[in-house]
Amino acid sequence: MHPTHDMRSTLIASLLFNCFESFHGYHECAIQQVKEGLREIGECFEADGEGVADLLKKLDEQAVLYANTRNAEIHELYRKCGQESIDAMPRQFSTLAEARILLEIIIRRSVHWLASTIQLHDFSETCEPWSLFDVNPPAKEKKKTLYEYERWRQAYEPLLESEKKTKGGESFVLAMTLRLHWLAGYLTVASNASDISLDSGRFAAELEEIVSVSGLLLVEAMKTGKPYNFAFDMQVIVPLTTVGWIYRHRALRRKVITLLQQSPRKEGVWDGVVIAKVLAWLVDLEEEGLADEEYIPINSTARMIRMTFDAKAKVAEVSCLKPVRGAGSEKLIQMEAKIPW
């Protein structure tokens, strides 16, 4: 069989299985299909046109965001991909397509970089409670990554302002989607939980924008008369999760849950209904006993949140470490729940 045809066949098969497994709730099977497809295609990859390459990159992004199982060296290798494109980024984008390509490169690089910094701990390990942050990136690399995002924002701003004036149509939706994904990517990198600054309110305006733009895009989807409940690539679920999961802004998190419940959808391996239920569980867990704080205080934030899925039983098994308030900063207890979807 011709290598190009074989590669395309493998890609198409991987995509079909990924969509089928994701739609029916078999999230871990979907990710396994992605990984196997990427491995096989990688063994025979050759310059074969932008279509295959773009789909490969989208699959890779989903696999890293959903299940980080590769070692740091592999992530570091992917982190360096696309440097020439970043270096050649124009001062101002001329088309949405040009802006999209560069943003996808930046997001993919940052996703792999963050994955390379993740420190995994076992619940049985003995360590300082506040060292249990998921991500502890070196300051220099973080600054470099944020600078890439900032360069893109400056190059995109004139084009975005122009597209906003159209107030509808495909180009408007794409323009706002790019803005949404930039916000989610930038804020994820900027969060850096190890500096204990998530409750400072520094990015309140940006978090509000994520929620408002997501709501706008959901409304635009309804206007087409063909609202969908499944999409291959990531659109609003991951950005909304950034607000509710990483920053834990109390009022906005409740709005996120409402949006996900009102517009149930699956995007790639991400299930909005499941995410909404997990966020609701976190609300009950973290807000117990709180007064009128705008954000979840850092000493009330659940740590090491983990999820596994029982596809047959349609249940998400969630666990975390919860700080015990009033017990100083020493005690963490493990919490577990089974959440049906």
Task: Please tell me the pTM assigned to this model.
Answer: 0.74
Neighbour tally for 168: CB within 10 Å: 9
Count Cβ neighbours within 10 Å for each residue of 48-84 and write b for 16 or more, e otherwise. Answer: beeebeebbbbbbbbbbbbbbebeeeebeebbeebee
User: Is residue 178 in some structural domain?
Assistant: no
User: Is residue 2 in some structural domain?
Assistant: yes
User: Is residue 17 in some structural domain?
Assistant: yes
Closest alpha carbon to 82 in 62, 110, 60 = 110
**Residue matched to tokens 């995109």:** 156
Q: How far is CA 272 from CA 153, 239, 258, 290, 298, in A?
A: 28, 11, 11, 27, 26
- The total of structural domains in the chain comes to 1
Share of the chain above pLDDT 70, in %: 62
User: Is residue 230 in some structural domain?
Assistant: no
Q: Convert the pLDDT of each residue in 243-263 to its tens digit.
A: 888 888 899 999 999 999 888
pLDDT score recorded for residue 92: 97
Using the predicted structure, report yes or no on whether residue 136 has a pLDDT greater than 80: no
- Strand 270-271, strand 303-310: pairing: unpaired
User: Is residue 32 in some structural domain?
Assistant: yes
Q: Convert the pLDDT of each residue in 32-76 to its tens digit.
A: 545 555 555 454 444 444 454 555 555 555 544 444 455 555 656
Cα dihedral 12, 221, 260, 255 in deg (nearest 10): 140
User: Is residue 188 in some structural domain?
Assistant: no
Q: Is-contact 328 311, C-beta < 8 A?
A: no
Mean pLDDT for the stretch of residues 222-229: 67
**Residue matched to tokens 């909005």:** 272
User: Is residue 340 in some structural domain?
Assistant: no
Terminal-residue alpha carbon distance, the chain: 43
Share of the chain above pLDDT 90, in %: 30
Q: Is-contact 262 312, C-beta < 8 A?
A: no
Radius of gyration of the chain (CA): 20
Q: Which domain holds residue 62?
A: 1-67
User: Is residue 50 in some structural domain?
Assistant: yes
- Strand 332-340, strand 315-323: pairing: antiparallel
Q: Convert the pLDDT of each residue in 167-194 to its tens digit.
A: 778 899 999 999 999 999 999 888 765 4
